[in-house]
Structure 1
Amino acid sequence: MDFRYPNRKPASSQLQTVGRTSFKEKEGNRSFANRGMTFEDDINHSNLYYLQSGKAVIHKKPTPVQIVSVDYPKRSAAVIKEAYFKQPSTTDYNGVYRGKYIDFEAKETRNKTSFPLNNFHQHQIEHMRQVTKQDGICFILARFKTTQEDFLLKASDLFQFWEQQQQGGRKSIPKAFFEEKAPSIQLGYNPRIDYLEIIDKLFFAG
């Protein structure tokens, strides 16, 4: 089957395999400092742990696909010959934790000193605003890939920089802002990225 992105390039060279590592893997086989997994792998691994431990139900939203060519070799079978990945309309992940709706986007950058705002799209910002207005828990998980640091930034802080950009301000969020305002998340074993521990402190404390 030929999957392609909106730019018409084949998806085979761009797709990454995710979610194959079981969280039952023995601790001795993987160091806490091992960043061999992708950011998405780490998050999916964490969500699987949360689900199987009964702590939360959070899933990655499937990427919408537009089918453009289907072959029917038999009446009982259909083979998709060509399809295109559409641009996601909202954010990467959503679910429920402690009775609250959770919605977040996960992004990474190789930039050492700032996080470019072009990682986000206007429709994603609008979606996150709507979630926030409904008292949902909304945030971004950001990874500075070069320095191997992960942060959780509340959506309200992201909106601040997005508005400044639209008014001619800077087009990125300084890393110093993350270090001051966004709690860092240390890579662990089970879960790999324990972002719910941060959520407890930011949204449920007091």
Structure 2
Amino acid sequence: MLKKLILCIALLIAHVSFANNPINKPLIVNTTIDKSAFFAQEITRFSITPSQVVLRYDGSKKTFQDTVLQVDIETTFLVADTSLNLGLLLTNQFTVCRDNGGSGAGSGNELITPNDFLSVYSNDGISETKMELNTPVVLPQSSLDGETISSQSTLWMRFLIPPQNAYECGGSLTFTVEMDV
């Protein structure tokens, strides 16, 4: 009986000792995500036409002409699922104009223009919406084959008057398409 009591006390002390000094072993986890394992459907095509725009100056407005962009999206998501919405996000917008610096074309100093020098608008057929950075605009949905969701939309790039000394302006827009499931 005394041996059992001593053994119990020894086990209890060992347990308390191990509990106060736990042994930690890191476990590194790494995987490759196969998105097709999550969803059988996907966005199969996303294009914006034209892919490059040459701005045309409108002397009467003293700014650049509005530019129309065509957005085409095709998916394998079924039309029957009415809870799905296609969204388009403006995720990056950068514009810059250069002045001639008094030394002629090509030697200009950069004038960073505010992002509102260029605005992008979408139109769902009912109303026009100014696109804000990282805020999705729900796109009108249709179907090319009668079974899967697609969208054909038009965007407009509109411009304010460029800085007074500007002789060259440019920039870039980045769009992301998403399916709200």
TM value normalised by structure 2: 0.25
Q: Which has the larger radius of gyration?
A: 2
- Identify, as 1 or 2, the structure richer in helix: 1
Q: Which has the higher contact order (CA 8 A, sep 6+)?
A: 2
TM value normalised by structure 1: 0.23
